[in-house]
Structure formats: C-alpha cells, structure tokens
C-alpha cells in the first residue's frame, strides 16, 4: 500500500474532522482579509486613477509599479474614497446645473448651460422660498431680521402668508414658459431667460417693501391673466387640431386602449390602489378638517368677534365709557353689543353632599361676567344647563336664597364648568351624572392685586366668599370646562378691588376690567372694517386720559387671539395630510410598474399598431388614456367609499367597541363627544383631480417607452 496515499487520506480526514475549527479561525478570516485588501487595492490603484485620468493609456511598467505599492494600499484608502466622492459630487453638480440651464435657455454647451443653471437655481430659491416669507430675501435687502411689520400682534413667528403674485409670476416665467417653448420655439428661450427671472424677482421685491402687510393683488391679477392667456391659446390649438383631425383617429386611441388592455386584469390592482388611497385621503382630510372646524367654532363661540385686552394682572380703566360709545352712532352701525370680562386665578372648595366635613378642592380660573351681556355677545348661553330650560332661575349679580329654604343665607350665584374635578362624572358614552344639585354652596378664595401689581393686603392676601352654584356650563372644550367658573362681574370686581374707589385725599380710582368682548353686526368684515373701526375708536377714546394702564391695551380679532392654538391644530391636519399623501405616492409607482410590464408584454401588438400607421403620439395616448380612466374610476370609487365611511364613522367605532372592544375615540379624553366628520365638496374635487393627474404621471414613462419603440425591432424579437 502506498504510504503517501495513506498520509494524504489521513490528512484529509483530519482536516475534515477539524473543519469547523480551522474554517472559523483561519480560512474565513484569511479570505476576509484578502477580499478586503482586494477591494482597497481596486479603489486606490484602479478606480481612483480612472476617475482622475479616465482617458489616459497606461503602460505595463506603470501597472507593474503599482504592485510594489501594495503596502501603501491602506494608507491611501481614505484619500481614494474622498477623491471618488468629490469627483462624483462634481459630476452631479455639473449634470444638474447643465440640465437646468438647458431647460431654461436651450444652451447645449456645458459652460453656458451650467452658468444659466446657477442663475436659475438662485432665482428659484429666492422667489419660491421668499414667497413664503422666509428670512432669506429680507437678509439680501439688508435687514438683519424680518421687520416688525410682518409680525401680527406680537406674535413669536412672522406671518407665513403666501405672496400669491410673486409665486405665480415665478411659476409662469421660470417653469411654464421654458417648458412650453421646449417643444415650440426653443431658440426663443435664451432671450426670455433673464427678463423672466428679473420680472419674478421684481414682483417679490415690490411685494415685500410696502409698509402694510398684504397680498399684492396687482401681481396676482397679472399672473392670472398670463396663465389664462396660455390656457386660451392652448384650447384654440386643441380646437384647431380637433377640427383638422379625422374622427376615426380619436376613436382609434380609445378603441385601442380598451382592446389592448381590457384583458390585463393586473391593471385592476392599480385601480384598487387608487381607490384605497383616495378613500384614505378623504377620510383623513374630513376627520381632521372637522376637528379644525369644531375648534374654530368653539373658540369663536366663547368670545366675541373683537377682543380688547389690557394688562392680564392689573387690567385697564375707563372701559364703561368706551362700551357706551360703541353703542352710539357712528360705531353702532358696526358694533352690535359689547361686554366687559374680569378673570383671575382662584381656589374653590365644594363640600361633598354625603360628607360635609370633606370637600373637593380645585384651582380654577374665575371669570367675572355680565351674564346677559355675555350671552348677547357670545354663544355662552348654549353651554348652560338650567338657563337653557328656565333663564329666570339663573342670576349672578343679585344675592339669592334657595327656593326650598327662604331662611337660608343670601349668596351670589356661581356657574361652574361641568368637567371640574369631582363635581360630575362622565361615562364612556359622554353622558354626565352630576354629583351636586342646584344651590349647593362653594367657597371661592381669591388674591386681589392693586393697580401697581402688588397684593392689596400682604398680611392677609386671600379674599374668600361663599356662593350658590346655580348652573353648570359645558362648552365642549375640555380644557375650559375643567378649569373655569363664572360669577357676576360686579361681584368679582369688588372682591378684587377693581371697582370704583375713593381715596382718603378725595381722589377717584376708576374701575378696571381685563377684557372687552365685542360682537359685530352681521355683514361687517371682522378683519378689515370691524378691526380698523374698533381700533380707531379706542385710539380716539384712550388719548383723552393720562393713564399708563391704557398704553398696554391691544385690539385683536378672535382668530388672532387664539392664533397659536388654532395654528397648532391646523398644522397637525397639514402634517397628517402630507404624511398620508406621501404614502399615497405608492399608487403612482404601482401604476408605473404595472404599465411598464404591460408595455413589455405587448411589444408585438405595439409593433403591429405602429407598422399599420399609428403614430408615437397615438401609442402614448393609448396608455395615458387608460391610466386617466383608472384614476377617474378609482377616485370616484374611493371618494364614495370615504364619504360613507366618514358619515358612519361613529357607528363604525361603536361596532368595533361592541365586537372587538377597540375604542378609537375615547369620550373621556377628547373634548368632543363624537368623531367629527365633515366632507367638503372642494376636498372631493381636489382629491379626484389629484388622483387622475397622479395616475397619468405614473403612466408617463411606460407611455414614452411604448411611443419610442421601433416597430421593426418590436416584431423581430416577437
């Protein structure tokens, strides 16, 4: 027997048995090192020279020389990667600006196209970002920050109002015109390039420099006329082509689209995607839109159209004369009613009905109101329980006794928020069970503040008084119903020492209030006529008095007063719509993939159609028409599905609770008892149009590929 064979066989057996050890500890690490070294060697000595010197020939000696530089491979790895990344970024920079310049001007040479692309890019950034009040254009005009005139009523952020005119002018001259001229008169683009950019920047500049904040209507009208003229000319061209094109050709496109694609059931997947995406968007827009509308309606209903507010601690005087002046000509043509409001923080203790020795203690926001005036100016009366049934039983400005106990102490009335802790219980269905009855007593403790902002009596600052709880308020906003209580205006004014007083030396200290709620007459525009008239009236009235507290009085609309809260809810709605809109883009890519696959499968049919005389335009129109039909049908089905889902969303939630125990809208947490769902017609129209456009966009690439297909090549390989 051959000894060598025995040794080789034993060695192979030993290596086989010890394979897991040497593979794991020796072979695989060595292969990893060799592979890593090979990659590094390629990046340093092959790829980087090719990137830097792509067209230079290399001799064998130069190639052999690199072998002696092997030890330096790891030292040159990072520089090699940096070089490749920089070269790649440079190529990307040149390609992008060259493409942008060719689109804007039609220049084909690299240097002029790149320069034009840089100019166009700068103009795009300036005009389209500047149209949303970005600080960039202000800094270019020499301002270190956005001027104060662009801040509305001491807001933290500048008003982000879209400057419609500059935006539309820029869209017309820098987007629409270059695109149209690409297919018509490309040589004219280079002559219109700089004038168009200059006009767009001029529109932005002249819209930013006025002293008053407004949307420049002149530029908006000019841009609208330009867009309308383009649309009219395009319709005239379409009409001319329609009159001079045989009817059979138009029928050919639709007939071919139906015959070519009717058996492709896979296109139903794209139809289902469009349906689901449109339904999802409509549901989100309706629910969030309804939530925003309820927030706005509740905010408007709790205060008047215009609010005058002074120092939040000390208030402001001479309000009585101003309210009387508003009710007289000429201001009564604008103002329907006005009422003063006092507010402060307090501590309320309510004895428990079953145990007088214990009580509920809550920190509350106390409002002093003229009940009849507050109801006349706002929708406060709709939130009251007993007042809604019998207004005569609720009074705040006169001491009263319980009807069943005439011998009881006479106390002033108090209205409490229904969600104040302990006073009521709300079940999961939104139904309240009140734990206290009418004329239950409550002790209210307050801290009065002087005109100078100090405590009235530092040794005993708290002022306490008992009240009868004569009614409860449920505005529908949980944050208000859980914190606010309401007493008579004169009562709270006296407790806070804000009423009219006479000093020892005979001086008169006028009465003060914190706010005045003003209701405008129907038909008066709140943001223009109403606000300006009230501001002018207050200015003329306040200059008669020399009082520092009058200097801090501001005049706001209810929208401005609640701008932070409303903006937060509206931004949440926009964020949800944007997120689900991004998700819906999946439908576009699904249509693209499906139609591209159909084009590949129908290569022979497309070749036959082109061989018998079908033009590239007609072939592309076949797929675009079918995609538009899918978008239209899918959007109709989706909006119908979304509409019925929104209209029955509360019933669907009740069914989910009953069957699965899933509660999406917890009535114990949210301010509103039912899920809001208002379907707006403008949302439906916008979603249908967006679905059709998105479907057509998804089919553009497959349609172009089908249009460019060579009939000879298509038939040769089929």
pLDDT at residue 601 above 90?
no
What are the pLDDT digits (tens) for 47-64?
Answer: 677 766 666 555 555 555
What are the pLDDT digits (tens) for 199-256?
Answer: 999 988 888 876 655 566 788 889 889 989 988 888 787 777 666 665 544 555 666 6
Mean pLDDT of 298-312: 85
pLDDT at residue 121 above 90?
yes
DSSP H stretches of helix in 134-188: 135-140, 164-171, 177-183
pLDDT at residue 276 above 60?
yes
Per-residue b or e along 331-359, where b marks 16 or more CB atoms closer than 10 Å to that residue's CB:
beebbbbbbbbbbbebbbebbeeeeeeeb
What sign does the dihedral 591-592-596-599 (CA atoms) show? positive
pLDDT of residue 263: 58
Relative to beta strand 484-488, strand 355-369 is parallel
- What is the distance between the alpha carbons of residues 304 and 326, in angstroms, rounded to a whole number? 14
Q: Can you give the residue ranges of every domain in the chain?
A: 3-75, 101-236, 260-295+566-716, 311-552
pLDDT band (50, 70, 90) for residue 147: confident
Confirm if 647 and 679 have CB atoms less than 8 A apart: yes
- What is the distance between the alpha carbons of residues 583 and 33, in angstroms, rounded to a whole number? 43
Relative to beta strand 554-557, strand 306-309 is antiparallel
What pTM value is reported for the model?
A: 0.60
What are the pLDDT digits (tens) for 619-673?
Answer: 788 788 888 888 888 889 999 998 888 887 777 777 777 777 666 665 555 556 5
pLDDT band (50, 70, 90) for residue 680: confident
> Tokens representing 575?
């964020």
- For tokens 């069970």, the residue is 433
- What is the distance between the alpha carbons of residues 47 and 52, in angstroms, rounded to a whole number? 9
What are the pLDDT digits (tens) for 378-432?
Answer: 988 888 989 888 888 889 989 999 888 888 889 999 999 988 888 888 766 667 8
Q: What are the two backbone dihedrals, phi and then psi, of residue 362, each rounded to the nearest 5 degrees?
A: -135, 145
Per-residue b or e along 599-632, where b marks 16 or more CB atoms closer than 10 Å to that residue's CB:
beebbebbbebbeeebeeebbbbbbbbbbbbbbb
pLDDT of residue 298: 77
At a CB cut-off of 8 Å and minimum separation 6, what does 371 contact?
Answer: 394, 395, 396, 397, 486, 488
pLDDT at residue 553 above 80?
yes
Backbone φ/ψ region at 590: left (φ over 0), alpha (ψ -120 to 50), beta? alpha
381 DSSP assignment: G
- What is the distance between the alpha carbons of residues 467 and 368, in angstroms, rounded to a whole number? 13
pLDDT band (50, 70, 90) for residue 350: very high
């Amino acid at each position: 027997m051959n000894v060598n064979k025995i040794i080789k066989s034993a060695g192979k057996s030993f290596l086989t048995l010890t394979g897991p050890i040497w593979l794991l500890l020796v072979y695989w690490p060595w292969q990893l090192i060799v592979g890593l070294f090979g990659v590094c060697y390629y990046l340093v000595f092959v790829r980087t020279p090719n990137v830097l010197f792509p067209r230079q020939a290399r001799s064998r000696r130069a190639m052999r020389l690199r072998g002696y530089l092997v030890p330096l491979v790891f030292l040159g790895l990072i520089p090699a990667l940096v070089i490749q990344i920089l070269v790649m970024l440079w190529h990307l920079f040149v390609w992008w600006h060259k493409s942008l310049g060719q689109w804007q001007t039609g220049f084909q040479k690299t240097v002029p196209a790149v320069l034009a692309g840089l100019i166009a890019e700068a103009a795009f950034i300036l005009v389209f970002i500047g149209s949303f009040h970005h600080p960039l254009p202000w800094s270019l005009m020499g301002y270190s920050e956005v001027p104060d005139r662009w801040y509305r009523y001491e807001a933290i952020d500048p008003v982000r109002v879209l400057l419609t005119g500059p935006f539309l002018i820029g869209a017309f001259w820098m987007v629409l015109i270059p695109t149209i001229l690409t297919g018509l008169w490309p040589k004219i683009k280079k002559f219109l390039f700089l004038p168009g950019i200059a006009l767009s920047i001029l529109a932005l500049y002249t819209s930013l420099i006025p002293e008053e904040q407004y949307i420049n209507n002149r530029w908006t009208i000019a841009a609208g006329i330009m867009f309308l003229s383009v649309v009219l000319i395009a319709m005239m061209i379409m009409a001319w082509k329609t009159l001079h094109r045989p009817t059979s050709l138009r029928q050919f496109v639709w007939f071919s689209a139906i015959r070519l694609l009717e058996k492709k059931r896979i296109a139903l997947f794209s139809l289902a995607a469009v349906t689901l995406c449109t339904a999802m968007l409509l549901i989100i827009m309706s629910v969030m839109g309804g939530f925003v509308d309820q927030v706005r309606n509740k905010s408007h209903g709790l205060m008047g159209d215009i609010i005058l507010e002074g120092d939040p601690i000390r208030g402001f005087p001479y309000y009585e004369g101003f309210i009387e002046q508003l009710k007289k000509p000429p201001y009564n043509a604008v103002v329907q009613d006005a009422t003063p409001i006092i507010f402060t923080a307090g501590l309320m203790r309510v004895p428990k009905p079953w145990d007088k020795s214990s009580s509920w203690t809550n920190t509350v926001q106390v409002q002093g109101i003229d009940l009849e005036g507050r109801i006349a100016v706002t929708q406060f009366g709709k939130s009251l329980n007993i007042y809604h049934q019998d207004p005569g039983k609720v009074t705040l400005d006169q001491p009263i006794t319980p009807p069943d106990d005439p011998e009881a102490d006479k106390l002033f009335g108090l209205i409490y928020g229904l969600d104040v802790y302990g006073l009521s219980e709300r079940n999961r269905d939104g139904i309240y069970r009140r734990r206290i009855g009418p004329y239950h007593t409550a002790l209210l403790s307050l801290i009065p503040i002087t005109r100078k902002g100090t405590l009235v009596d530092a040794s005993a600052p708290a002022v306490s008084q008992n009240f009868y709880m004569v009614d409860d308020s449920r505005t529908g906003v949980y944050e208000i119903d859980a914190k606010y209580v309401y007493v008579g205006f004169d009562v709270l004014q006296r407790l806070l020492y804000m009423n009219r007083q006479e000093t020892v030396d005979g001086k008169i200290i006028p009465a003060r209030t914190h706010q005045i709620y003003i209701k405008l007459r129907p038909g008066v525009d709140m943001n223009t006529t109403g606000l300006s008239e009230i501001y002018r009236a207050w200015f003329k009235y306040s200059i008669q008095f020399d009082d520092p507290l009058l200097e801090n009085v501001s005049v706001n609309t209810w929208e401005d007063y609640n701008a932070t809260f409303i903006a937060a809810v509206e931004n949440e709605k926009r964020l949800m719509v944007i997120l689900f809109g991004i998700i819906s883009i999946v439908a576009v890519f699904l249509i693209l993939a499906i139609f591209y696959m159909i084009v590949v499968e129908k290569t022979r049919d497309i070749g036959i159609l082109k061989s018998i005389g079908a033009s590239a335009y007609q072939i592309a129109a076949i797929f675009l028409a079918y995609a538009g039909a899918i978008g239209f049908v899918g959007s109709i089905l989706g909006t119908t599905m979304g509409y019925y889902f929104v209209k029955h969303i509360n019933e669907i939630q009740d069914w989910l609770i009953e069957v699965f125990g899933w509660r999406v809208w917890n009535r114990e947490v949210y301010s509103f008892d039912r899920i809001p769902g208002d379907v707006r017609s403008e949302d439906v129209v916008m979603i249908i149009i967006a679905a059709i456009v998105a479907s057509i966009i998804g089919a553009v690439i497959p349609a172009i590929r089908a249009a460019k297909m060579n009939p000879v090549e298509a038939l040769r390989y089929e």
